[in-house]
Structure formats: structure tokens, C-alpha cells
Amino acid sequence: MAYDSSSYGGGYDDSFEQRPEFKNARDLEQQEPDYDTNFVPDVVKSFVVYLYRYIREKNVYEILQMYEISFQKLSERMFKQSPWPVVEAIAPYVDNDHVFCLLYRELWFRHVYARLTPTLTQRMESWDNYCSLFQIILHGNVNMQLPNQWLWDMIDEFIYQFQSYCQYRAKLKTKTDQELALLRQYAEVWNVVGVLNYLQALIEKSNIIQILEDDKDGSTNFTAQNGYDFQGGGSNVLKVLGYFSIVGLLRVHCLLGDYYSGLKCLVPIDIHQHGVYSNVVGCQITTVYYYVFANLMLRRYVEAIKACNQILLIIHKTKQDHQASSQFQQILKKNEQLYALLAICLSLCPQGKLVEENVNSQLREKQGEKMLRMQRNDEAVFDELFSFACPKFITPSPPNYDELVNYNQDAYRLQLKLFLSEVRQQQLLSSIRSYLKLYSAIPISKLASFMDVDEPTLRMALLTYKHKTHVLDYDGRIISNADVEFYIDKDVVQIVDSKVTKRFGDYFIKHILKFEELVGVLESVQL
Amino acid sequence: MQRDRVAATPEREVTPQYTMEQIVAVNPYNPDILPDLEAYVQEQVNSQTYSLDANLCLLRLYQFEPSRMNIQIVARILVKALMALPAPDFNLCMFLIPEKLQMEDPFLTLITLAHFLETARFREFWDEAARNRHILEVVPGFEQAIQGFALHVLSLSYQRLPRPVLAEAINMEGLSLDKFLEHQIASNGWSVEKVSGGGQLVVLPPNEHNYPELKKSIVDSIPLEHVSKLFPILT
């Protein structure tokens, strides 16, 4: 975006003479559907003028204020049930700047998706807008600095709209002939391969994987600078979009049921460390949510529990700060979903000691009763919590337009079914657990009679326990997720004393750090 | 970046020969490589090799264009995935296969087989496998791979186990089991004990899962990453 201070601002455009009358009319009939979206109210005019100016001045702080606060406020006040003015109407105030218009339209469509119901044409136009925007960015033709929050929202919304389109397309029963014709004609719109390729291209063009690699040995400072590039005078847009596309790929893969590939895409980002992703709260929660879900489906319960605990603690501590945020409702929703996932994981793998006290008490309050029922193998509860907490799975392929059925639930039903069959395979394990906890050694015959099964069945159940609680990590090593460890010698089950040895090392490290922090605070106190 | 690295090599090689794995890494979403991936499944079958990444990539491309799906090839991928147990590959593949297909054979049979293995019902598994040789025999090494899985689960669990339990899990009896045991005793540290009432006890070599005391030392140590938090204070 070229900087040219002479051509912005200045007076009303003559073509908007009828403004006052129109305003009155709208006040009387708020719901008026054919409200003129060509009309640009003063506040909107100054909004775009200032936003445009700040973008050219690379004033990230002011851009963020306008993006996060002003845009929401104006939407709330003036465009609660109607779209913002069309881009053609505001273009004259921003020098018809091509990139700014694309950014404005991105906001425009996002507002339509959030507050209204997008028409098929709008869905298609929004796809075109993303394509134009990404293509310009991929060709390196921007030198803006945009707030990371905005760039994350772009990737997030891009995938949301893709998912929404797949859901919309899958409901064929209610489509008009005209809509069907459009869907058929523009098969490339929101096509899954296109979506994945854009994310992949952003990652590759930005060279972000190499940058993150270099960051580790200190030869770049992408993470330290939080992705911005103020000194170099460069742009953060491509790099940070590439970075967030890594999370984007994880999400799309999970929506497709491809958890393994999703986690593989995420490898460049270490979710146990701070990073650019953890400075944007929505991104952090999304990343960890899909990470947890994928690990649950891969049966890596301990990993899922640890990550879940970590993010729930963060949400718990920072919830107050986000109350004013436009994403507060979404944060709350994800919070509840994560508690449901944690309840599922702990029911399949009761490693309660991995969960911090704050999280644990919330968990008991929210899911305590359901967890008891899951321990008793109540499949309906697994079903209910899974359905509540799972992502909105999609069927990526275009439908058979000659067979007008709704298939929008197919992908979800498949994932649910496979999850429940996993639960069924583990149904004897929780009672084995509860018996083993009571003994240090017990003959197989005795345990079998307690559990009311024959000996061969019990031997199988014990082997199943071992198989299900041991997973392979990426290097092919066997990792134990078992809460109760045992081995069988001949005909006797020997239970390993599970007394937890206090980890003094970690305890001291924690307190040394706390002490250091306190000393720092004391030193800064002015008496 | 993968693509750059691969793209940079042709200067050295006149006819660049990339492995299928490299091609998948660079083109994870490219429908054009579908026929190559199908051929690669057969190659894995013939050469007794295995690539989960390539096979998931193929299933993904089928998911994008179901009309191109080849049921025989999907079945082969699933047999190979069973052979990869204890890795969860079979489930990973199932997540990507349309439910409608899963209701038909050969998928129904494969699901039953997987279920028996996942719940350690080896006797039922071998019986069911014997009834479905036509699906499994086309993939060489199947029986050995499943025996390997059974041995894996047994060695997670047992220090000493009765011979019949072993016999049932790996589907061997009499002379062939004797021969198998001889081999394990000679090269893998197994041994056999006689039991007073007749019969044999098979002694499996110790590992940290059947001899948990072997694991202790790791639990007590502090990982470097935790200690590293103190570095800024120490300097």
C-alpha cells in the first residue's frame, strides 16, 4: 500500500445528498431489508479513513484499536441486522486502494457471517475475495504491518467459512434449482484442495518452518518479536499468516478426521512453549483444542490431559481480561468443550494427578456426575459429551446433485461411531482398575470370579488393558499411559505399588522461580 | 522447506528419482499423484514395506473424490494397517473411509478382525482369519506381523506364562511351537520351565513393562527442560 498523504480525507461526496432523509427513514423502520448499502454514514467514513491512514502509517496499535473496538462498536450500534456499506461506496474515501478494499470486504463478509445469514452468492464472493487477498500476499505485494489478532482472525474465518460452506452444500433437500445450478457450476469455490493449497502455499512462501527452526538456535527472532518486523521495515503479513496456517492445517485435517496428519502439520509449533500463537488468545485456545481432540482420537490420553489442563488453567486465570472481547462467548464455549474432553479422557485414563486443583474443582462441578456414569460404562454419556465437544466434521467432496438428500451429519456420525466402538473395547478396563487398586497381588482365578467372567476372558481383558494403555510415540517408543501398573507372573497378577514419589526437584524449581519473581517485584517498589 | 529442497536437486541429477514419500511430503493435497499412490500400495505389499503417510494421503484423495475410490486398494491398505499394530493405524484409516463402505465386505470382515486384535481375543482372531484367507493371503507377511503384535502385548504383561496361552496367541502348536521356542531361547533370551503337574511355563525376557522396577531410575530424574528454566537466574 503506497503512502500518499495528499489524497485522503476531505468533505462529503455530493452523491450522498439524501443522507438525512434516509437516516430518518431507517430509524423508523430498523428491519427494512432493502436498506441502501451504498449509503456511507459519517462515522463509517471516518472509520475507513482513519483505518486506511493507520495502515499506511504502520501504526499497529491504532489499527488494532480500530479493528478490535471501533469495528465492533459500530457493528453493534449501526449494523446489528444489516451489512456494512458495500466496498464500492467506501472506496472513494480510501483512494480506491485495492488492498484496503480487499481487507474491508474481508471484514464485510465476516460481519455478514456473524450477524446475518450469508446467501450463496455472498459465500461465493467471499471465497473470491480471500483468493484475491491471498494471491496478492503470496506474491509479496504488500508491505503492511497488521495486528496478529487480525491475521489470525483471517485464517480462522477462512476455515470457518469453508466448513460452513461444506455444511451448507450438504443440505441438498432445501436448495432451490437456481442454487443447485450455481453449486454445480462453481465446483472450485471453497473446494477442499483449494483451501488446503492456500494454507500450504502461505506456509511455504513465508518460509515460516525454516524461520521457526532458525529461531531455536537464535539466528532469527521471529518469536521474540512476536512476528512483527518494525526495524527491518518489512511486512509481518505473509510470515504471520504462514505461521497461523500451520494451526489452520491442523484444524482442517481434524475436520476431515485425519488426526494423525493434523498433528504432524503442527510439529513446527511447540504447544508446551510460549510462541506467537499464545499471544492471540483465540489462536491459543483453538490450537490446543484441536491438539487435545486429535490426541484423544489417537488414544494418547495422557498427552491430551496435560494439554487440556494447561489451557484450562490459562483460561481460568485470564477469563476476566477477555470479558469485553468480542470473542468472549466463543472462549466460554470452548472452555466448556475442553472440560467435556477432559472428562472423557480422564474416564478412559484416570490420571487425576495430572490435573491442577483449580481445574479439578471446576471439572467436578461441571462434569462430576457424568464422569461417575462414564466410569460405569454408560455409553450414552460418552455419546453426549463427544457430540457436545467434537469439532464440526465435514464431508469435503461435492455431493451427487442428482440425489437430493441431506448428508451433513454423515461425517460426524462416522467419527462418533468409531469413538464409541473404542469406548466399547475398553469397557472392562475400569472395573479391572478398581479391583487392582485394592491388591498388591491377586490370582487370576480370584479376580475372574470377582468380575464374574471366566479365566480366559480375564486374561484377554488384562492384555487389552496393557494394549490400550500403551501407545507408540513418534519415534516408535512405547509410552505407558497406565494409572495402575501390573504384570502377570504365571497365574498371579502382581500390582506395582503406585505410591507417588514426591518430585522435590520440580517443587524447588517452582519456588526458586517464584522467589526470584518476588525479589524482582520488591526491587521495583519505590519507597 | 521440503519443496525447495526437492526442487533444487535436479541440477545434480539428470532424471530425478524421488521416493514416493518425498513426493507425498511435497504434494500432500495433489490429486494428480493418486495413480502413483495406488501403485505404491501394491509395491508396499510386494516388497513388504509400509508407509502410513503415503496411504493416508491416498485415502485423503479418495475422500476428496469418492468416485475414484478403488475398494481393493483400500482393503489392502487396511490389511497393512492391521499389520502395523500396536500402532493405531487401522483406526486412522477408518476415520477416512465413508461409513457406507464400512458396512460392506471386505470391510466388515476387516473390522471384525481388528476388533478381535484390539481386545486381545487371539483365538477368535485366528479362526476368523482362517475363514478369510482370500483377503489376507494376498498380503505377504501378514501372519508373522500379527504374531509380532501378540508377542508385543504378551511381553508388556507377562513375566512367565503358561505355554497354552502363548500357543493360542500366536496360533502355533506342537512341533512348530517347539521350534519357535527353540529359536527364541537361542537368540532372544527366552527360557522354558517345567511345571510340576506337567506342561511348560514360558519365561519372557525382562523389559520395563513386565519388570516395572527397571523403570524407576527415569521417574526420579528431572528433565533438562525443567532445569533450563533456572538458567536465566543463574547467569
CB-CB neighbors (< 8 A) of A466 in chain B: 153, 156-157, 209
Which residues neighbour A349 within 8 Å (Cβ) at sequence distance 6 or greater? Answer: A301, A302, A305, A469, A481, A483
Rounded distance, CA B84 to CA B208, Å? Answer: 22
Write the pLDDT tens digit of every residue in A10-28.
333 333 333 333 333 334 3
The answer to whether B28 contacts A413, with C-beta atoms less than 8 Å apart, is no
Name which of A252, A193, A396 is nearest B33 in CA terms: A193
Interface test with A, best of B21, B51, B91 (most A CBs within 10 A): B91
Interface test with A, best of B27, B63, B227 (most A CBs within 10 A): B63
Rounded distance, CA B184 to CA B187, Å? Answer: 5
Which residues neighbour A419 within 8 Å (Cβ) at sequence distance 6 or greater? Answer: A297, A382, A386
Mean pLDDT of B196-201: 81
Rounded distance, CA B93 to CA A414, Å? Answer: 12
Mean pLDDT of B211-230: 69
Q: Of the segments A230-239, A277-286, B207-216, which one has the largest average pLDDT value? A: A277-286
The answer to whether A491 contacts B65, with C-beta atoms less than 8 Å apart, is no
CATH class of B158-235: mainly alpha
Rounded distance, CA A108 to CA A243, Å? Answer: 24
Model confidence at B6: pLDDT above 70: no
B183 contacts chain A (CB < 8 A): no
CB-CB neighbors (< 8 A) of B33 in chain A: none
Rounded distance, CA A102 to CA A141, Å? Answer: 13
Residue A115 has what pLDDT?
87
Q: By the 8 A CB rule, do A143 and A235 touch?
A: yes
Angle CA(A99)–CA(A101)–CA(A103) in degrees, nearest 5?
70
Interface test with A, best of B33, B95, B96, B158 (most A CBs within 10 A): B95
CB-CB neighbors (< 8 A) of A397 in chain B: 63-66
CB-CB neighbors (< 8 A) of A415 in chain B: 95
SS3 A1: coil
> Would you call A117 exposed, middle or buried from its count of C-beta atoms within 10 A (0-12, 13-18, 19+)?
exposed
Mean pLDDT of A378-391: 92
Helix spans in A186-297 (H)? 192-206, 208-216, 237-256, 259-266, 281-297
Which of residues A295 and B20 earns the better pLDDT score? A295
The answer to whether B157 contacts A488, with C-beta atoms less than 8 Å apart, is yes
Amino acid at A263: L
Give me the residue spans of the domains in chain B.
15-141, 158-235
Across A160-164, A197-201, B156-160, least confident range = B156-160
- The CA–CA distances, whole Å, from B42 to A221, A248, B51, B69, B90 equal 46, 33, 12, 15, 18
- The CA–CA distances, whole Å, from A406 to A71, A469, B64, B133, B174 equal 37, 39, 18, 39, 57
Query: A340-377 in b/e burial notation, b at 16+ Cβ within 10 A?
Result: bbbbbbbbbbbbeebbeeebbebbeebbeebbebbbeb
Residue in the block written with cell 481383558: A461
pTM of the prediction?
0.86
Residue B229 has what pLDDT?
75
Average pLDDT, chain B: 85
Name which of A269, A318, A264 is nearest A295 in CA terms: A264
B 113-172: CB under 8 A from A: 115, 118-121, 153-154, 156-162, 165
Confidence of residue A500 (pLDDT cuts 50, 70, 90): low
The answer to whether A467 contacts B156, with C-beta atoms less than 8 Å apart, is yes
Two domains, one topology: B15-141 and B158-235: no
Model confidence at A324: pLDDT above 90: no
Model confidence at B8: pLDDT above 70: no
CB-CB neighbors (< 8 A) of B66 in chain A: 397
CATH class of B15-141: mainly alpha
pLDDT above 70 covers a percentage of chain A that reads 91
- C-alpha cell read off for A200: 500450504
Out of A209, A418, A462, the one facing B94 most closely (by C-beta) is A418
Residue A233 has what pLDDT?
63
Helix A237-256 / helix A281-297 crossing angle, nearest 10 deg? 30
Distance of CA A205 to the CA centre of its chain: 23
B72 contacts chain A (CB < 8 A): no
CA dihedral A66, A72, A74, A77 (to 10 degrees): -160
CB-CB neighbors (< 8 A) of A258 in chain B: 56, 60, 92, 95-96
Write the pLDDT tens digit of every residue in A453-491.
888 889 999 999 999 988 887 777 888 888 888 888 888
Which of residues B212 and B59 earns the better pLDDT score? B59
CB-CB neighbors (< 8 A) of A516 in chain B: 233
Mean pLDDT of A402-429: 89
Write the pLDDT tens digit of every residue in B21-63.
888 888 889 888 899 999 999 999 999 999 999 999 999 999 9
CB-CB neighbors (< 8 A) of B158 in chain A: 487-489
Determine which helix (DSSP H) or strand (DSSP E) holds A92, and give its type and residue range.
none
B5 contacts chain A (CB < 8 A): no
SS3 A479: strand
Determine which helix (DSSP H) or strand (DSSP E) holds B203, and give its type and residue range.
strand B200-203
Residue in the block written with cell 476476566: A320
Q: By the 8 A CB rule, do A145 and A230 touch?
A: yes
Rounded distance, CA B29 to CA A195, Å? Answer: 10
Model confidence at B156: pLDDT above 50: yes
Determine which helix (DSSP H) or strand (DSSP E) holds A507, and give its type and residue range.
helix A504-524
Complex-level ipTM: 0.85
Rounded to a whole number, what is the distance in Å from the CA of A211 to chain B's nearest CA?
10
The answer to whether B209 contacts A397, with C-beta atoms less than 8 Å apart, is no
HEC secondary structure over B72-101: HHHHHHHHHHHHCCCCCHHHHHHCCCCHHH
Query: A133-147 in b/e burial notation, b at 16+ Cβ within 10 A?
Result: bbeebbeeebbbbbb
Which residues neighbour A312 within 8 Å (Cβ) at sequence distance 6 or greater? Answer: A335, A338, A339, A342, A359, A362
HEC secondary structure over A43-69: HHHHHHHHHHHHHHHCCHHHHHHHHHH
Out of A193, A489, A491, the one facing B29 most closely (by C-beta) is A193
Model confidence at B13: pLDDT above 70: no
The answer to whether A509 contacts B222, with C-beta atoms less than 8 Å apart, is yes
Model confidence at B199: pLDDT above 90: no
B33 contacts chain A (CB < 8 A): no
Pairing of strands A478-480, A486-489: unpaired
Write the pLDDT tens digit of every residue in B83-107.
998 999 999 999 999 998 899 889 9
Rounded distance, CA A72 to CA A309, Å? Answer: 32
Determine if the peptide bond prior to B106 is cis (ω within 30°): yes
Q: Is the dihedral of CA B203, B205, B209, B214 positive or negative?
A: positive
Confidence of residue A7 (pLDDT cuts 50, 70, 90): very low
Which of residues B52 and A225 earns the better pLDDT score? B52
Residue A17 has what pLDDT?
31
Name which of A260, A378, A20, A413 is nearest B98 in CA terms: A413
Q: Is the dihedral of CA A51, A55, A61, A64 positive or negative?
A: positive
B 91-110: CB under 8 A from A: 91-92, 94-96, 98-99, 102
pLDDT above 90 covers a percentage of chain A that reads 30
CA dihedral A131, A136, A142, A144 (to 10 degrees): 0
Average pLDDT, chain A: 84
Residue A418 has what pLDDT?
94
A421 contacts chain B (CB < 8 A): yes
Write the pLDDT tens digit of every residue in A97-139.
889 999 999 999 999 998 888 888 999 999 999 999 999 999 8
Residue A5 has what pLDDT?
35
